[in-house]
Amino acid sequence: MKIGIANDMPLAIEALRQAIATRPGHQVLWVATNGEEAVQFCAAQVPDVILMDLVMPKLDGVEATRQIMARTPCPILIVTSSVGANAWRVYEAMGSGALDAVDTPTLAGPNTRRTMDLLLAKIEQIGRVSGVLDAAPRGPAVAERPAPGVPIVAIGASAGGPSALATVLGGLPANFGAGIVIVQHVDQSFAEGMAGWLDGQTQLTVRIALEGERPVPGCALLAATNDHLRMAANGKLTYTREPADTPYRPSVDTFFHSLVEQWPGEAIGVLLTGMGRDGAIGLKAMRARGWYTIAQDEATSAVYGMPKAAAALVAARAILPLPAIAPELARRVKPWLTPAG
């Protein structure tokens, strides 16, 4: 993979160079020491992935990401001194189109190998998602079916997803009558923080999805591990490592397919902004099942990859601008009324 580095710290650049050098198939295409240079270098030579620092002179990583995705889109991995300490900036960058985030590897110390391996794993995952590296994603099959429950709105998103999710969830009423399950390509280390951030953007409750629980009206559950979220035969949510070979973790397709296989009630599928094709085939399966399906349009997508793939497959019954998605969901789902007691 051809890799661009955007970082103004010499020690961090050297650590990134050393990590990249351990993989024969990877090479550093260019090094930008500020955000403005990163935008210019990307326009001249688009890499397979950019390792983008958050704090840089001239343009910070968030604004550089925003400009790159507007001018010469390419996969961006945020590499920062501490993902946890910079969580809100990480969410901003992902809202602007970054795919993932990871701590900057160390040059010396007991964690050097671990931090470098984690960086390389993220790079290679992005390579599989973008198609630079080979991958063969496929969905598992399960048989037995659960009892009907509340309607489910299943939402998939990737690059640009956090802000798109905030718009959709923020437009839904507190008495929205369906359970919502979200599969966003996000590392488990900051999934809980993202759920907390989204919770503050909407009248609904947003929290991470727990093993063995059922979706309920008025609550949005966010997939929160590096394993895949599935609907199990008993109508409860479960996490699984399979399929192990898919580059998307958690996988939107895996969850959408599990709904088609297991859920006898009503469901709506929504595919938002994101790089790659994850979710498109699953959305097609949901439409074939007779369920209503929505894909975000190109004009409002930070990255028109996943919705574009869905449009090409005619997987979406409606292709809508982002602000129109929540009103459409509210129109199709009856309000949930608390039983009198």
Looking up tokens 């489910």 gives 152
Rounded distance between C-alpha atoms, residue 284 and residue 293, angstroms: 8
Asked about 257 being catalytic, the answer comes back as no
Helix axes 252-262, 280-288, angle to 10 degrees: 20
Q: Which two tokens stand for residue 230?
A: 């599935």
HSE-CB at 83 with a 13 A cutoff on CA atoms is: 25
Computed on alpha carbons and rounded to an integer, the radius of gyration of the chain in Å comes to 20
CA distances from 271 to 99, 274, 318, 327, 335 (A): 16, 9, 11, 16, 22
SS3 130: helix
Among left, alpha and beta (phi > 0; psi -120 to 50; other), residue 58 is: left
Q: Is 278 a catalytic residue?
A: yes
Whether 185 is catalytic: yes
Sheet of 2-6: strand order equals 27-32, 2-6, 49-52, 76-80, 100-103
Q: Are strands 237-240 and 228-231 parallel, antiparallel or unpaired?
A: antiparallel
CA distance 12 to 300: 35
Q: Is the peptide bond before 137 cis (omega within 30 degrees of 0)?
A: no
The position carrying tokens 């199990």 is 232
Catalytic choice (185, 187, 251, 258): 185
Comparing C-alpha atoms, which of 201, 181, 158 is closest to residue 301?
Answer: 158
Distance CA 150, CA 267 (A): 9
Do 268 and 293 meet the contact criterion of CB atoms below 8 Å apart? yes
Question: Please, which residues bridge with residue 221 across strands?
Answer: 181, 207
Choose, from 53, 60, 96, 158, the residue flagged as catalytic.
158
Residues annotated as catalytic are 158, 185, 278
